[in-house]
């Protein structure tokens, strides 16, 4: 098991103390025990074992994070079985290579610690094996000894690596051990026990055939490890691609969902368009039919001489004509607002003039309207036509949605640079839950085809847009069965006029 720590971790005195605490006893042990075995050490096979460990360690493996399955482990365990403990430890110390040592990426003490802990765990494995079994002894005892040795070596090694990480990161050893083993807590242990059995085969081959058989045995093992890691890297890449694909699929699903919603909205718009055409046609047909009817009646010879009747019919025709005109003008204004082509023509405007003009157009129903405007109301600098359209639509509704004999009121006052006027009726009122929607285009509280009131659902949306165009806002206060009050607030001087000077004659400012 190698230690591939995060290089950004900083060594401090604690980690150095741990490194020295592990390395020094190992070195002292080797220094004390090895001189007596110097002839054994110089045997070619010992060097070959150390060389095999070094070569295996130096062959790069594709990293995949966490612990590395080390192939040097079975060779070292083979050495622990074949050689006496001090010699096996020396092989581990000399042979354990870390490629980073050659690139000078690890400090000397850390390199010594890495080698020291490998030597210590090999030593522990070797001591245990030689206590329990004999390299050439019976197979059951031999296997038992190998497994015990593998377990001891693995545990000591894992503990040393974890302790070092724990000191570096200032966390508990147990936590590091858990993190190191991740989602597969026993997988590594089993893998190392399996590698330990490989070590036993290496040892037996070596004892019966010599080192050449170890080399032949190791070759396929190295290749197998290489393939394992390649597969592993491939599997990781596939998993990553799968994750990306799943992400893209989720995004596509989201887009599809949006698309569905857009299609639904378009369908709804289309339905509304159809409905709108039907409603508008109906609204247009009524006055046109009336106009034709009056015209035809007037043509009849009996009417030509009756001046009073003729006058009355002409008046009715005029009213129907006005109504038709209002509807067409509303439609035109909506279309201009939609295409952002609504002109703004700012000039001097007297509010009472606007009221009079609108009431005249609404006659004779306008007789129900009481006007309360103070005499000293200031002259406005705003768009007269748009303001008239606002008042006209509000009054039209007030008269329409209240009984024919009930009064309606227009009141106005000016303060702090604003004109506030309200149009009040004592009619059917608006249910509170409908109030937020009545300013929407084409929205009508009563949407049934048997509606009692004429209209296409454009008036209030126009009022809202036009008032905004004049730089103000509109609010409604209504009680069902008692009536409604629409309050409009617009600036005395349209915001488009820069300096607050006396308003000149007629100022045109097209939008
Ligand atoms: P419509 O052409 O239907 O009058 P509007 O946009 O002018 O369309 O008004 C939208 C809806 O708000 C109307 O259908 C009506 O239900 C409601 N409404 C508007 N003004 C009044 C009012 N003064 N009293 C009661 N209900 C009103």
User: pLDDT tens-digit profile of 126-142?
Assistant: 999 999 999 888 889 99
Q: Atom 20 of ligand 1 has which residue's CA nearest to it?
A: 397
Percent of the chain with pLDDT over 70: 91
Q: Atom 1 of ligand 1 has which residue's CA nearest to it?
A: 457
Please indicate whether residue 476, judged by its CB atom, sits closer than 6 Å to ligand 1: no
To test the pocket of ligand 1, the residue of 328, 401, 426, 449 to mutate (highest count of ligand atoms within 8 Å of its CB) is: 401
Sign of CA dihedral 301, 305, 309, 311: positive
The pLDDT of residue 508 is 43
Please indicate whether residue 125, judged by its CB atom, sits closer than 6 Å to ligand 1: no
pLDDT tens for the chain, residues 1 to 511: 544 444 445 667 888 888 899 899 999 999 999 888 877 777 788 888 999 889 888 877 654 444 455 778 889 999 999 999 999 999 999 998 887 888 888 888 888 998 999 999 999 999 999 999 998 888 899 999 999 999 999 889 888 888 888 888 888 888 877 777 666 667 777 878 888 888 888 898 888 888 888 888 888 878 887 787 788 888 989 999 999 999 999 999 999 999 999 999 999 989 888 888 888 888 889 889 999 999 998 888 877 778 888 888 898 898 889 889 988 988 899 888 888 888 899 999 999 999 999 998 887 888 999 999 998 899 999 999 999 999 999 999 999 999 999 999 999 999 999 999 999 999 999 999 999 999 998 888 876 655 667 778 889 999 999 999 999 999 999 999 999 999 999 999 999 885 554 444 444 444 3
Q: How far is Cα 354 from Cα 162, in angstroms, rounded to an integer?
A: 88
To test the pocket of ligand 1, the residue of 397, 440, 448, 453 to mutate (highest count of ligand atoms within 8 Å of its CB) is: 397
Please indicate whether residue 392, judged by its CB atom, sits closer than 6 Å to ligand 1: no
Identify the DSSP state of 506: B
Q: Using one digit for the tens of pLDDT, what is the confidence trace for 9-51?
A: 566 788 888 889 989 999 999 999 988 887 777 778 888 899 9
Whether residue 374 contacts residue 412, with contact meaning beta carbons closer than 8 Å, is answered with yes
Q: Atom 16 of ligand 1 has which residue's CA nearest to it?
A: 445
- Ligand 1 centroid to Cα of residue 152, in Å, is 88
Reply yes or no: is the peptide bond before residue 364 cis, omega within 30 of 0: yes
Please indicate whether residue 463, judged by its CB atom, sits closer than 6 Å to ligand 1: no
Q: At what angle do helices 351-362 and 307-338 cross, to 10 degrees?
A: 120
Q: How far is Cα 163 from Cα 5, in angstroms, rounded to an integer?
A: 12
- What count of Cα atoms within 13 Å lies in the side-chain half-sphere of residue 64? 17
Q: Tokens 């590594």 correspond to what residue?
A: 188
Which pair of tokens denotes residue 419?
């004109």
To test the pocket of ligand 1, the residue of 459, 461, 478, 483 to mutate (highest count of ligand atoms within 8 Å of its CB) is: 459
Nearest atom in ligand 1 to the alpha carbon of residue 402 is 24
Backbone angles phi, psi at 457, to 5 degrees: 80, 25
Strand bridging mode 418-425 / 408-415? antiparallel
Q: How far is Cα 38 from Cα 29, in angstroms, rounded to an integer?
A: 14
Please indicate whether residue 430, judged by its CB atom, sits closer than 6 Å to ligand 1: yes
- Ligand 1 centroid to Cα of residue 400, in Å, is 9
CA separation, residue 286 to residues 72, 278, 282, 289, 298 (Å): 98, 13, 6, 5, 18
The pLDDT of residue 447 is 66
Which pair of tokens denotes residue 258?
């949006």
Other CB atoms within a 10 A radius of the CB of residue 299 amount to 9
Nearest atom in ligand 1 to the alpha carbon of residue 398 is 23
Q: What is this structure's pTM?
A: 0.54
Other CB atoms within a 10 A radius of the CB of residue 319 amount to 18
Q: Atom 11 of ligand 1 has which residue's CA nearest to it?
A: 444
């Amino acid at each position: 098991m190698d230690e591939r720590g995060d290089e950004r971790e900083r060594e401090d005195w604690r980690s150095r103390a741990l490194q020295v605490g592990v390395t020094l006893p190992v070195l002292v042990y080797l220094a004390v025990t090895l001189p007596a075995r110097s002839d054994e050490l110089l045997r070619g096979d010992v060097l070959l074992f150390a060389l095999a460990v070094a070569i295996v360690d130096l062959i790069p493996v594709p990293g995949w994070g966490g612990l590395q399955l080390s192939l040097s482990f079975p060779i070292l365990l083979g050495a622990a079985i074949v050689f006496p403990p001090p010699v096996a430890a020396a092989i581990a110390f000399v042979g354990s290579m870390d490629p980073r040592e050659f690139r000078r990426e690890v400090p000397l003490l850390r390199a010594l610690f890495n080698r020291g802990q490998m030597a210590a765990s090999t030593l522990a494995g070797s001591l245990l094996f030689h206590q329990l079994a004999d390299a050439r002894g019976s197979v059951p005892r031999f296997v038992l000894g190998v497994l015990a040795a593998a377990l001891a070596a693995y545990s000591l090694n894992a503990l040393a690596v974890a302790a070092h990480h724990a000191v570096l990161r200032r966390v508990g050893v147990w936590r590091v051990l858990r993190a190191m083993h991740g989602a597969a807590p026993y997988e590594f242990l089993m893998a190392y026990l399996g590698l330990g059995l490989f070590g036993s085969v290496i040892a037996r081959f070596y004892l019966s055939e010599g080192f050449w058989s170890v080399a032949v045995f190791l070759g396929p093992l190295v290749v197998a490890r290489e393939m394992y890691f390649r597969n592993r890297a491939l599997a990781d890449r596939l998993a990553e691609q799968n994750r990306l694909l799943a992400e893209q699929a989720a995004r596509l699903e989201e887009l599809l969902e949006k698309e569905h919603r857009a299609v639904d909205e378009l369908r709804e718009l289309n339905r509304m368009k159809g409905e709108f055409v039907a409603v508008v046609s109906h609204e247009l047909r009524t006055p046109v039919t009336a106009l034709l009817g009056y015209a035809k009646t007037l043509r009849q010879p009996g009417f030509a001489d009756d001046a009073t009747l003729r006058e009355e019919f002409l008046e009715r025709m005029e009213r129907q004509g006005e109504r038709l005109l209002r509807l067409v003008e509303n439609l035109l204004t909506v279309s201009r607002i939609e295409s952002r082509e609504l002109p703004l023509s700012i000039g001097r405007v007297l509010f009472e003039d606007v009221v009079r003009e609108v009431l005249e157009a609404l006659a004779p129903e306008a007789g129900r309207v009481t006007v309360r405007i103070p005499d000293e109301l200031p002259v406005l600098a705003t768009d007269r036509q748009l303001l008239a359209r606002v008042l006209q639509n509000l009054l039209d509704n007030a008269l329409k949605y209240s009984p024919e004999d009930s009064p309606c009121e227009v009141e106005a006052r000016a303060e702090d640079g604003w004109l506030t006027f309200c149009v009040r009726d004592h009619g059917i009122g608006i249910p509170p839950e409908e109030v937020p929607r009545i300013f929407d285009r084409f929205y009508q509280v009563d949407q049934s085809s048997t509606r009692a009131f004429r209209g296409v659902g454009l008036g209030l949306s126009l009022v809202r847009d036009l008032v905004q165009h004049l730089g103000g806002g509109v609010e409604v206060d209504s009680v069902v069965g008692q009536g409604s009050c629409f309050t409009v607030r617009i600036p005395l001087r349209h915001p488009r006029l820069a300096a607050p000077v006396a308003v000149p004659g007629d100022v045109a400012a097209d939008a």
